[in-house]
Chain A
Amino acid sequence: MTFISIEFLLFFAVIVFTYYLIPHRWRWILLLAASYGFYATLSSYFILLLLASTAFTYFTGIIIEKQETKKQKKKVMLVGICALLFFLGWFKYFNFANDSVRAILTYMDWNYALPYQEIVLPLAISFYTFQAVSYLVDISKGKQKAERHYGYFSIYFAFFPQLVAGPIERAKKLLPQFKVEQTLKYENLSYGMKRIAWGFFKKTLIADRLAPIVASVYDSPDPTGSQIVLATILFSIQLYADFSALSDIAIGCARMLGIKLTENFKQPHFAVSIADFWSRWHITLSTWLRDYIFVPLCKGKKKRSEIYLVIMITFLISGIWHGAAWSFILWGLIHGFYRVFGDHTKHFRGKMATFIQLDKSPTLHKWVKISITFLLVCFSRVFFRSDSVTDAFENAQLFLTLNSWRPSGIMEAFELFSLLDLVVFIFFFTVVQLFQYIERKNTSTWNWLSQRSAFARFAVYILIIVSVLVFGVSGQGFVYGGF
């Protein structure tokens, strides 16, 4: 049962109906049963791992809190985190490490006996492990009390709207919301349904329509440079539509239950720098990395060069977190390099902008920065999308070849689309851009829409629903659902 299915909508409708029907004191049981039920439909085998990780984190949290000194708390916290990371490492990185060692030793002509293990990645392990780590760290620092109610704690671990792909939440924000009695509110139901519908719109009309076109290029043995350029730009659009749709549905579902999740996207493709991009893309992961990796590693660093090293380490971890492959590691390092290079050349770039008088036209200057940032992000995504490091370097070379950017070549590459697909994509892409444009001018498009006439509002709602039903296509789950 994936988010994009009739089964899920029916399942969720039953949960919402029952949730408001039963007394508050029983709701945690419903949410927990729904969460485990949902997880079991996706990955029944690994529910035991989810249960074990939950119990382990629950008891470790209490033990940390019971320690008397800061030093003891830290010690128990580190043991707890190591155990959680061992699980993550075993399931997610064992074969990657094994293959890497094997490749190095084969290259050196040494025998290597460790056999290959058939390990399947448990769904959502990266997400719930990060939530568990933040919980233990916050307890050891006294920022979070160890939760004693096992039921509420288990929901924090497995809350089904955000279990599979985030947003990555903090216990401090989520736990109190589960405990407060949520009353049935029209605004929550209405807003939640709109966010879910908007998620379906982006996923079925943009992401899943682009997915086969992008795949046809990236799976091709000999794509042209212009095809790689176009497919990479389309992949960036696909990835955003895919992942932000997932967050929309998660946020919408939670809101219908009265729970407010953290926003995970803020129009990242309109970022004016790489630093700005990471404050708009997968925000909950970025803030997690900032708070639990970057800031602690920055302690005691008093030179920019030292901070640069910390940035590279943080992005390296981000890359490894995204996937157990060297292409993801390179993708992370590329972003680290962008960030360091961007900081190091900031003054020079400012002077250049003044020299060519670009800063005299702030709007143009901003759009130049947006375009450059978008292209840099696209380049990094060649590594994110390619199946291997060899493919990634070949594709990156094609992406960087000037000839690949010939307008005539790009126009030819558009033949990847059928005429109908192209028209449908352009129409719905324009609708999304219009939505985002309104959002940039107002704080919320939904609020803006609520101030329009009933006719205009319902015309938009009907457009969204009918478009999904008529033109929507559904692919193989979500890109970020696999992490």
Chain B
Amino acid sequence: MMKNIEKYRSAFIDALELEEDEAWGDLALGETREWDSLGHMILISTIEDVFDVSLDSEWITEFNSYQSGMELLNRLGVDFVNE
């Protein structure tokens, strides 16, 4: 079974059509061609499906980097560390 971190990475790859070997840690909204405002909505939909969560507008704005997305999901009960 896939770990949450793998699911998270996979959601990024699917939604933003990224390459497997791209640098992940410092990926941020608006800083890459793929992760623009519309790509962000696709990413949010994908994340919602994968983790069965619902992100409203405030959280969508807060989710502005690879790292902040993980922190947000962590607050919603998605554990990336002790799984």
Interface on A for B, CB 8 Å cutoff? 141, 143, 275, 290-291, 295, 298-304, 307, 343, 346-347
Output the residue of A291, A300, A302, A303 with the most chain B CB within 10 A. Answer: A302
Checking A291, A300, A304 against B49 with a beta-carbon cut-off of 8 angstroms, the contacting residue is A300
Cross-chain contact A343 with B42 (CB below 8 angstroms): no
Q: What are the residues of chain B within 8 A of A299 when measuring CB–CB?
A: 45, 48
List the B residue with the shortest CB-CB distance to A287: B57
Cross-chain contact B37 with A302 (CB below 8 angstroms): no
Interface residue SS majority, chain A: helix
Cross-chain contact A301 with B56 (CB below 8 angstroms): no
Cross-chain contact B45 with A300 (CB below 8 angstroms): yes
Q: For the complex, give the distance between the alpha carbons of A356 and B14 in Å.
A: 34
Checking A295, A302, A347 against B42 with a beta-carbon cut-off of 8 angstroms, the contacting residue is A302
Provided the pairs A298-B44, A299-B48, A347-B33 are in contact, do residues A304 and B38 lie with their beta carbons within 8 angstroms? yes
Question: Quick one: which of B24-43 are within 8 Å of A by CB?
Answer: 33, 36-39, 41-42
Cross-chain contact B42 with A304 (CB below 8 angstroms): yes
Q: What are the residues of chain A within 8 A of B41 when measuring CB–CB?
A: 295, 298, 301, 307
Q: Tell me if B18 counts as interface (CB < 8 A to partner A).
A: no
Q: Tell me if B70 counts as interface (CB < 8 A to partner A).
A: no
Q: Tell me if B60 counts as interface (CB < 8 A to partner A).
A: yes
Q: For the complex, give the distance between the alpha carbons of A290 and B38 in Å.
A: 12
Q: For the complex, give the distance between the alpha carbons of A87 and B39 in Å.
A: 37
Q: List 27 A-B contacts (CB under 8 A).
A: A141-B56, A143-B56, A143-B58, A275-B37, A290-B57, A291-B56, A291-B57, A295-B56, A295-B60, A298-B41, A298-B45, A299-B48, A300-B45, A300-B48, A300-B49, A301-B41, A301-B45, A302-B15, A302-B46, A303-B42, A304-B38, A304-B39, A304-B42, A307-B38, A307-B42, A346-B36, A347-B33
Q: What are the residues of chain A within 8 A of B15 when measuring CB–CB?
A: 302
Q: What are the residues of chain B within 8 A of A300 when measuring CB–CB?
A: 45, 48-49
B36 shortest CB reach to chain A, Å: 8
Q: What are the residues of chain A within 8 A of B38 when measuring CB–CB?
A: 304, 307, 343
Interface residue SS majority, chain B: helix
A272 shortest CB reach to chain B, Å: 13
List the B residue with the shortest CB-CB distance to A295: B57
Of all A-B residue pairs in the complex, the 4 with the closest CB atoms, nearest first, are A291-B57, A298-B41, A295-B57, A307-B38
Q: What are the residues of chain A within 8 A of B36 when measuring CB–CB?
A: 343, 346
A103 shortest CB reach to chain B, Å: 36
Q: What are the residues of chain B within 8 A of A307 when measuring CB–CB?
A: 38, 41-42
In the complex, per-residue mask of B38-75: 1 if CB is within 8 Å of any chain A CB, else 0:
11011011101100000011101000000000000000
Checking B37, B42, B57, B60 against A301 with a beta-carbon cut-off of 8 angstroms, the contacting residue is B42
Q: For the complex, give the distance between the alpha carbons of A141 and B59 in Å.
A: 13
Q: For the complex, give the distance between the alpha carbons of A302 and B41 in Å.
A: 8
B38 shortest CB reach to chain A, Å: 5
Q: What are the residues of chain A within 8 A of B14 when measuring CB–CB?
A: 302
Q: What are the residues of chain A within 8 A of B44 when measuring CB–CB?
A: 298
Q: What are the residues of chain A within 8 A of B58 when measuring CB–CB?
A: 143
A295-B56, A300-B49 are known contacts; what are 5 more A-B pairs with Cβ within 8 Å?
A141-B56, A290-B57, A302-B45, A304-B42, A307-B38
Q: For the complex, give the distance between the alpha carbons of A130 and B3 in Å.
A: 43
Q: For the complex, give the distance between the alpha carbons of A291 and B56 in Å.
A: 8
Q: For the complex, give the distance between the alpha carbons of A300 and B49 in Å.
A: 8
Q: For the complex, give the distance between the alpha carbons of A141 and B58 in Å.
A: 12
List the B residue with the shortest CB-CB distance to A298: B41
List the A residue with the shortest CB-CB distance to B60: A295
A334 shortest CB reach to chain B, Å: 19
Q: What are the residues of chain A within 8 A of B49 when measuring CB–CB?
A: 300
B39 shortest CB reach to chain A, Å: 8
List the B residue with the shortest CB-CB distance to A291: B57
Q: What are the residues of chain B within 8 A of A346 when measuring CB–CB?
A: 36
List the B residue with the shortest CB-CB distance to A297: B41
Q: What are the residues of chain A within 8 A of B39 when measuring CB–CB?
A: 304
List the B residue with the shortest CB-CB distance to A350: B33
List the A residue with the shortest CB-CB distance to B39: A304
Q: For the complex, give the distance between the alpha carbons of A347 and B36 in Å.
A: 12
B76 shortest CB reach to chain A, Å: 14
Q: For the complex, give the distance between the alpha carbons of A290 and B44 in Å.
A: 14
Q: What are the residues of chain B within 8 A of A141 when measuring CB–CB?
A: 56
B40 shortest CB reach to chain A, Å: 10
Q: What are the residues of chain B within 8 A of A347 when measuring CB–CB?
A: 33
Output the residue of B48, B57, B58 with the most chain A CB within 10 A. Answer: B57
B18 shortest CB reach to chain A, Å: 15
List the A residue with the shortest CB-CB distance to B48: A299
Q: What are the residues of chain A within 8 A of B33 when measuring CB–CB?
A: 347
A210 shortest CB reach to chain B, Å: 34
Output the residue of A303, A307, A346, A347 with the most chain B CB within 10 A. Answer: A307
